[in-house]
Structure 1
């Protein structure tokens, strides 16, 4: 459960509610504030500060600057706040990675962080986290989940000018005005820099180009950072939609622990933003799973769901699995990890259990024999099954081998749920010769399987 800003449609309704709050007698305001704190204060971290932020957001929306007592500010914030159950409808599509905290473990154990997709009211998806301990031997134990949940504090992030240029090119609006605006921006800029660049252009030009300006502001505002307090544990943190293009969900994060050319390590994840009509592939980056920044991805490969990053550079370039055409798996490259080239198709639907489409089930796993990629196939009756392929280590556009039969399929006891007949994962974890595979079951619960990496590779056909 989190507490999030809730704004009724229309500025007039917001203003009317504000007037009612301002019209309350001070004694009633004090009583309400005390009651709210007692009833909800232990359900949400830093509850009073959260309500203060929501009150400021409301006042800013209608251009009001009312002098409020602390109690009235709290009541105003609560009037525009609603609790939201992040997993009320579904829980699915986990992605496993090394946990940043490896303390308190016995020999032969490792702690993993697992991102999960929670789905709540309105089919809105968020990214949450659980943790588990593997070992010694073939043992997996989920650790207790911490409460209360925290949605962190979001703030605008900065842009690189060439990244924005690529996104504008994707939208087909690199024109004279676009070049003029870009020319007025520094190499690294934020929303205030964009407004200054717009202010230097005549109002008549901006009026004629309103759609371009609206899109520019929308794109620039879509980049943001989320920071969680040191007092929150990983399993208390949940990433909720903050950008307009993800207003209806942040879907299927595929995490990997990425190593750059200088040996620096950070967590990276691709996910799908959904605004209710369109999707947009996005990138999450975090050094510690406490502070996150997120940007829109650009380029030919960033046009569909299911991008998955390789955990290191290959041939000096970033690589990603993608499904830009909606049904085939390809490998795309990028110089900076933000703008992605047209992919090379490496696998298409072939077997009877993947007639409809195929895709990946998370980032590639590096083995001595090649990149092990877990896949999914969609067959008749929209049944999802999981398989695997092997790509060349030095040239991952070369498909070396594959499983002919599914690796994992829905069993009768697990076929029913929020989305029936689905087993699906967004990322497995290799440890001591085994591949640990957390997977969603009918989008209702999460199970875990393990398999021998060598046995799996041996079972593949060239």
Structure 2
């Protein structure tokens, strides 16, 4: 009898995609077909040619139909109208109703889960009030996939226990993508990041020097404006300034309304490197040496051609900062942070070569050193590649690492390793068989033959494992930790 059939419990819980979960997204006509010219001018002219009565009727119908489906619907229309307002000779003379109509002409609903929802991770919720003894409220991060295979990060809330039970709280209410908030670079960090991208020239140093001399919070534009004319005349100056602007713009902050529920919040792509999606967030509740706690997650940014890992940090899962990760280990999918420093350093699992689980270290959690190999493809169920399924989980016996293995017919299974607590580069034990495989009812999906997780947690002696099924839906499994550790084989 296998461990899976003997010890693993698949709970009668399935989270599926909900196409009613929509956001009001900027829609610039022609972009969806990569047209060479903008169609905005003609659309604006036609909207301005309508009579006031026609505008009033259209806006009333829009508000009646769409306002209940969105948080701050009128605010979204106003922001989108402001983007095309420069095409209007005197936008300040437009009535509020006509501005709303103009915004609606450049807005479309986007179903964030129109295709599927998958690849969850689980962390303890910041609010544990109102629960019976033995219960734990958890946050599930979700990869939501919509039209065009565009991924964003959503959330669900569940309750584990008391005992071996789990339930999901309703995911109700309109969604919000929050509002962008300013985030200031630490100047030395920006300097190092520019140098890593090959921007270590006189134009760059002139900009950085101007930033160093500017007041706290001073932006790039004044630094650009004060550049010496001789440097601006250099043929490469325009490209260098564009590169500086792109890298400096890769640090973003977003804040969600105080009265929004966690399940209403959607982390939506905001920087060029993630323009085609934010994939597979691996959340962890991180404890610093001084005892301070926050939430962190690595995720994969995809721009349609290249992928790169990025970092999310949040004190409360309402305000988030998204920043780039650099270094030789930050080169592929699947970085997973340890929940605390080990030996005074930040550690992470990675898969820099695309097929091997490695261990990397960092002084600041942003710049990552070359990885050391921890676990290579070896068993029959991991012949193609191996990687992690989320952040290592600390147990008295060692760091419990959930793994994914890809075998013949691109079948994904979930396994487990145990790493030494003091030296996580040492594998203490390994599960000789999969912990979870796609059973017959889990074989079909958007991507067939896949079970995959971005992180579980331990509660009340059980490992709780939310997992994606066929990149289409989410299930929940659990297994007693003691039984799992007992089935692992000690490594020489």
**TM-score range normalised by the length of the shorter chain:** over 0.9
Report the Cα distance in structure 2 between the residues aligned to 1:432 and 1:149, rounded to whole angstroms: 33
Q: Helix, strand or coil: the match of 1:76?
A: helix
Alpha carbons of structure 1 residues 283 and 121: separation in structure 2 relative to 1, 3 Å: same
Larger RCO (CA within 8 A; separation ≥ 6): 2
Alpha carbons of structure 1 residues 224 and 22: separation in structure 2 relative to 1, 3 Å: same
* Deviation of 1:313 (Å): 1.0
Report the Cα distance in structure 1 between the residues aligned to 2:182 and 2:320, rounded to whole angstroms: 12
* Deviation of 1:187 (Å): 9.6
Aligned twin of 2:301: 273
Q: Is 1:334 aligned to 2:350, yes or no?
A: no
Q: Is 1:306 aligned to 2:337, yes or no?
A: no
2:464 to 422, 430, 436: 436
Alpha carbons of structure 1 residues 7 and 347: separation in structure 2 relative to 1, 3 Å: same
2:292 to 250, 264, 285: 264
Report the Cα distance in structure 2 between the residues aligned to 1:187 and 1:97, rounded to whole angstroms: 42
Aligned twin of 2:378: 350
Report the Cα distance in structure 1 between the residues aligned to 2:355 and 2:181, rounded to whole angstroms: 36
The 8 Å contact of residues 228 and 291 in structure 1, kept in 2 or not, is answered as yes
Q: Is 1:360 aligned to 2:360, yes or no?
A: no
Q: Deviations over 1:378-416 (max 9, x none)?
A: 111111111111111111111211111111111111111
Alpha-carbon RMSD across the aligned residues, in angstroms, is: 1.8
Aligned twin of 1:154: 180
Equivalent residues in 2 for 1:18-417, closer than 5 Å:
18-59=44-85, 66-67=91-92, 68-186=94-212, 193-203=219-229, 205-206=231-232, 207-417=235-445
Report the Cα distance in structure 2 between the residues aligned to 1:379 and 1:365, rounded to whole angstroms: 25
Aligned residues: 461
Alpha carbons of structure 1 residues 191 and 299: separation in structure 2 relative to 1, 3 Å: farther
| TM score, norm. by length of structure 1 | 0.96
Q: Deviations over 1:253-298 (max 9, x none)?
A: 0000111122111110010110101112111111111111111111
* Deviation of 1:107 (Å): 1.4
The 8 Å contact of residues 94 and 438 in structure 1, kept in 2 or not, is answered as yes
Stretches (4+) displaced over 6 A: 187-191
Alignment gaps of 5+ in structure 2: 1-21
Report the Cα distance in structure 1 between the residues aligned to 2:306 and 2:193, rounded to whole angstroms: 15
The 8 Å contact of residues 158 and 189 in structure 1, kept in 2 or not, is answered as no
| TM score, norm. by length of structure 2 | 0.90
Q: Is 1:6 aligned to 2:27, yes or no?
A: yes
Alignment gaps of 5+ in structure 1: none
* Deviation of 1:183 (Å): 3.1
Aligned twin of 2:4: none
Report the Cα distance in structure 1 between the residues aligned to 2:269 and 2:189, rounded to whole angstroms: 22
* Deviation of 1:65 (Å): 5.5
Q: Helix, strand or coil: the match of 2:104?
A: helix
Select between 363-372 and 178-187 the one with higher mean Cα deviation.
Answer: 178-187
* Deviation of 1:203 (Å): 4.3
Report the Cα distance in structure 1 between the residues aligned to 2:202 and 2:400, rounded to whole angstroms: 46
The 8 Å contact of residues 191 and 220 in structure 1, kept in 2 or not, is answered as no
Q: Helix, strand or coil: the match of 1:339?
A: coil
Report the Cα distance in structure 2 between the residues aligned to 1:373 and 1:400, rounded to whole angstroms: 11
Q: Helix, strand or coil: the match of 1:340?
A: coil
